Amino acid sequence: SESMAHHPLTQFVESILALKRYRFRQEDLINLLRTGLYTDLSQADIDAFEQYIRYLGINGLPAFQQTFTKSHHGKFNLERLNALRLRILTPLETLFANRKQKAENLLKKWNVFLKEGAVTNQLQDLTATMEAVEQERQVEVWKAFCHVLEQFATVFAGSQVNLEDFLALLHSGMSLSQYRTIPATVGTVLVQSYDLIAPLTADFVYAIGLTQDNLPKIAQNTSLLTDEERQNLNQTTEEGAQLQIASSENLKKNRYTMLSLVNSARKQLVLSAPSLFNESESKESIYLQELVHFGFSRKEKRMNHKGLSKEDIGSYHSLLSSLVAYHQQGEMSETEQDLTFIKVLARVMGKKLDQQGLENPALPSSPSSKPLAKDTLQALYPADKEFYLSTSGLTEFYRNQYSYFLRYVLGLQEELRLRPDARSHGNFLHRIFERALQLPDEDSFDQRLEQAIQETSQEREFEAIYQENLEAQFTKEVLLDVARTTGHILRHNPAIETIKEEANFGGKEQAFIQLDNGRSVFVRGKVDRIDRLKADGAIGVVDYKSSLTQFQFPHFFNGLNSQLPTYLAALKREGEQNFFGAMYLEMAEPVQSLMAVKSLAGAVVEASKSMKYQGLFLEKESSHLGEFYNKNKANQLTNEEFQLLLDYNAHLYKKAAEKILAGQFAINPYTENGRSIAPYVQQHQAITGFEANYHLGQARFLEKLDLADGKRLVGEKLKQAWFEKIREELNR
């Protein structure tokens, strides 16, 4: 016998119960569709529907009843999705509309639902391709399912039952039920439970393991009342209010089981009991002793110990069956201990194979990748077409080369979500500032900012996101506070004027770098804002950030912070020669701990210190910059340092482009401390199989300064040390 608890039919009932009980949660509907028993939809249809409702993030029946209208710029086929929505919802709506009614009527409605939901047809289609053994198992499952419904009909005949109680009882009955497993051809059958024996099962039945432990089963009374106390209570209470006595009830059941066993064979029946079971002596069932008293003959068989060989102790078939049993057990219950054992075993076997010069792709000792084939490279990067490398792509490549391959070569994308996220927040704030700075100067900056907020909030894209629910509306209010706070920097900065917003740069007109083989590499992108100093017309680029971001020389040297130098290099190639810097502007409300300041005025002063442009500034232009620029010596560059910065940035692009065009993508996430990998660096662990605990040796260790023990550089000295290292790298 096997439990019904893990069968898809039980999961089907459980999902419907959850939909009813928890008011149509999205996850419950997805679980229902994943059972493969509800509706006759193809797997492609189910996947498309799941992807779309996850994109919408909807919950509750009213939300699902509304027509789907958001296509994300035509990415989703709304006509197809609405047809799927109706096919999925219609049977469920009809079922959930039922109120409390008689059990007989409820069962009829349930039967109609099974037909409209194509459950019976799906079961037939699924079993049609199975082998004979599996088909018979599914027949037994259906019998057990029907038996639970029959019991419900018997117990609640004439009673009023609501749908949720019916589903809860049905799920409970199915979870506790077991179904018989009948082999197609009778060989050696291991009987796990004699409670499920039926008369006239087969022509020949060989029943083994008939010990006192198995037949009859001794009921265990685990309640607070003993059988004697239950008997005394039954004698003093009225009829119809009796307590069950486990031993008495079990006696009747065991007699019925024995009668079924005796009549289980149509032609011949053999009953067997071992003298030793699990290396301990076992008692013969009292029912077998009764049969002997009735005159049936008993044959005792003993093992010939003199002729034993190793083949008698173990066999190929028994070993194979044990392995299969362990494998099936692992599928049914994957405990943390089992998974750890399997992982360690795979690593040990992988190392053993490596030592012998063998390889098993299923058991890699360490994750590795292979270079792309020449014809693949020719299709991806034909010689007669431009090769583009963005600054975000460059950063991804130096974070982990294989991540670049997944995102920019294979085109792996994150699941779309309509709910507001960091990207939509950034776009919303960008649009507000872009519009505010483009409005005429006749009005004050505050008036222009409020007008920009109002117009941006009414844009269809943002209105759909930030009016979806109360949580989204609250998020929008927080963002508007951020916009007004950040506007403080733009409002009081008379030294500069904004000349461009969302300015595109790069393209095929001007190559960014030239490789040694003559191949050109092009860079294109978009700058959030370009400012100009009123004093001498020097140009500066601004990039908006939703969190505090600073330019760090260690990250730049290792290819992880090339955004600002790339902007400057691209504008220089377009003809600009006079720059005052490149900087980040944090779009966030400053948070100041009141415990760290003596007064509220002090808190305002400390908060204003964080509201500054962070980045790189030309030393010769720093005198023209006001208080809103963090222009300490560590952030100021001479003309020579500025050119070194651009040259090394081009060097980073060149190294990355050569490896990409050669099709080489190593699995090498970088480690900053030499002990662990940051989560945002190792986002594709499920694909690569890279585990920091075991594969840290193939991670990319960041280049650091060669300092004497205990020596620590800060400020301008730290900057000079990194520029010296940059010079060494460029002169190699």
pLDDT reported for residue 247: 65
pLDDT reported for residue 443: 81
Residue 596's CB is within 10 A of a number of other CB atoms, namely 9
pLDDT reported for residue 335: 57
| Rounded CA separation 166/149 (Å) | 10
Instruction: Say which residues have a Cβ less than 8 Å from residue 207's Cβ, sequence separation at least 6.
Output: 191, 194, 261, 264, 269, 270, 271, 272
| Rounded CA separation 568/582 (Å) | 7
Which tens digits make up the pLDDT trace of 106-116? 999 999 999 99
Mean pLDDT, range 16-20, rounded to an integer: 96
What is the chain's mean pLDDT, rounded? Answer: 84
pLDDT reported for residue 49: 96
Mean pLDDT, range 351-358, rounded to an integer: 76
pLDDT band at 376; cut points 50, 70, 90? very high
Mean pLDDT, range 184-203, rounded to an integer: 63
pLDDT reported for residue 691: 80
Measuring CA to CA, how many Å separate 520 from each of 43, 351, 405, 417, 646?
Answer: 45, 43, 20, 37, 17
Which tens digits make up the pLDDT trace of 84-136? 999 999 999 999 999 999 999 999 999 999 999 999 889 888 888 888 778 88
Reply yes or no on whether the pLDDT at 665 is more than 80. yes
Reply yes or no on whether the pLDDT at 184 is more than 50. no
pLDDT reported for residue 93: 95
| Rounded CA separation 127/456 (Å) | 56
pLDDT reported for residue 195: 65
List the domain boundaries for the chain: 8-176, 194-294, 303-364
Q: What is the architecture, at CATH level 2, of domain 8-176?
A: Orthogonal Bundle (1.10)
Measuring CA to CA, how many Å separate 144 from each of 176, 269, 433?
Answer: 11, 26, 66
CA angle, 191 then 193 then 194, to 5°: 90
Share of the chain above pLDDT 70, in %: 87
| Rounded CA separation 243/233 (Å) | 8
Mean pLDDT, range 454-479, rounded to an integer: 86
Reply yes or no on whether the pLDDT at 178 is more than 90. no
Name the one residue in this structure whose structure tokens are 């992988």.
350
| Rounded CA separation 334/331 (Å) | 6
The residue type of 118 is A
pLDDT reported for residue 319: 64
Do the domains 8-176 and 194-294 sit in the same CATH topology, yes or no?
no
| Rounded CA separation 238/350 (Å) | 71
Share of the chain above pLDDT 90, in %: 35
The residue type of 311 is E
Reply yes or no on whether the pLDDT at 332 is more than 50. no
pLDDT reported for residue 53: 95
Which tens digits make up the pLDDT trace of 242-286? 777 766 666 777 788 888 888 988 899 888 888 765 555 667 888
pLDDT reported for residue 82: 96
pLDDT reported for residue 210: 82
What are 693's two structure tokens? 């605990």
Mean pLDDT, range 8-37, rounded to an integer: 95
Return the SS3 of 130: coil
| Rounded CA separation 317/442 (Å) | 91
Reply yes or no on whether the pLDDT at 230 is more than 90. no
Superfamily in which the 194-294 domain is placed by CATH: P-loop containing nucleotide triphosphate hydrolases (3.40.50.300)
Which tens digits make up the pLDDT trace of 394-434? 999 999 999 999 999 999 888 888 777 777 888 888 888 88
Closest CA to 656 of 543, 504, 551, 513: 513
Do 87 and 41 meet the contact criterion of CB atoms below 8 Å apart? Answer: yes
Do 462 and 431 meet the contact criterion of CB atoms below 8 Å apart? Answer: yes
Return the SS3 of 671: strand
The sign of the torsion formed by the CA atoms of 674, 678, 684, 690 equals: positive
pLDDT band at 26; cut points 50, 70, 90? very high
pLDDT reported for residue 641: 93
pLDDT band at 495; cut points 50, 70, 90? confident
Reply yes or no on whether the pLDDT at 334 is more than 60. no
| Rounded CA separation 363/349 (Å) | 7
Mean pLDDT, range 4-33, rounded to an integer: 94
Span of 173-187, 502-516, 639-653 with lowest mean pLDDT: 173-187
